[in-house]
Amino acid sequence: MNYDTPKGREVGVLGGVFPVVSMRFTYPEFAKAIEKGIKKPVKFVPVESGGMAEYDETYEFQAQYGLYKDTPCPNPKLVALGVKFGSMEEFIAQEVVPRFG
């Protein structure tokens, strides 16, 4: 799609940076949703370490402060342009259930 259009200019996307965030969830919430979709027990089990101090620090920071917390979800400018965002349930039904259901 070419955003150099009247609608693109109206919404203000040219030159912008837009994290594309469909949803926010914790890993335990994701596991519970998968469990519901595949009708089998699923449990999120965190590991003690990723095997590299830098990764561990990054994950600890993310766990403490989160990512994209100030980013609207979904982004109203992208919605105004007609971008469609999927739900967790749609992802599970389309991608997880066929593989693990």
pLDDT at 43: 94
> How crowded is residue 59: how many other Cβ atoms within 10 Å of its Cβ?
14
What whole-number distance in Å separates Cα of residue 83 and Cα of residue 90?
16
Phi, psi of 88 (to 5 degrees): -60, -40
CA angle 19, 70, 95 (to 5 degrees): 45
In 3D space, the residue among 40, 42, 38 whose CA is nearest the CA of residue 28 turns out to be 42
pLDDT digits (tens, 9 = 90+) for 34-76: 999 999 999 999 888 989 999 999 988 988 888 778 888 888 8
Report field, pTM of the whole predicted structure over 0.85: no
What whole-number distance in Å separates Cα of residue 6 and Cα of residue 52?
48
In 3D space, the residue among 94, 81, 75 whose CA is nearest the CA of residue 34 turns out to be 94
